[in-house]
Amino acid sequence: MKREREKSEFDRAINTVSESLEMSQSPEALSEDPDLAAFYQQRLRTLADFFTSLDNLVAMILALDSLRSSALDALLRKNRDEAQN
């Protein structure tokens, strides 16, 4: 439950960054202050890249945790089966 909530909050943050990037690329933003729009675009792209890297890192950690858990279960089962024989 907590992971799902955290994932939805993270997804919301990613979506907000994407929406903000789109806004900074709008004709209105570009015509009002092109230098400021370019600055925002650069920062928002960097933030989006960071979020993508962080999301990939968390996915990798979760996969490794699942692998660790499966390996531990298999080891315990093997030891139990050997002890019974």
Q: Does pTM top 0.85 for this prediction? A: no
Give residue 58's pLDDT. 87
pLDDT, tens digit, for every residue of 3-58?
676 778 888 999 999 999 999 999 999 999 999 999 999 999 999 999 999 989 98
Q: Which two tokens stand for residue 71?
A: 């390996």
Domain parsing of the chain, residue ranges: 2-84
Band the pLDDT of 77: cuts 50, 70, 90: confident
Give residue 32's pLDDT. 92
Judge whether residue 85 has pLDDT over 80.
no
Give residue 1's pLDDT. 62
- Taking CA atoms, 75 is separated from 63, 69, 79, in Å, by 18, 10, 6
Closest CA to 54 of 4, 62, 18: 62
The per-residue DSSP string of 2-58 comes to HHHHHHHHHHHHHHHHHHHHHHHTSHHHHHH-HHHHHHHHHHHHHHHHHHHHHHHHH
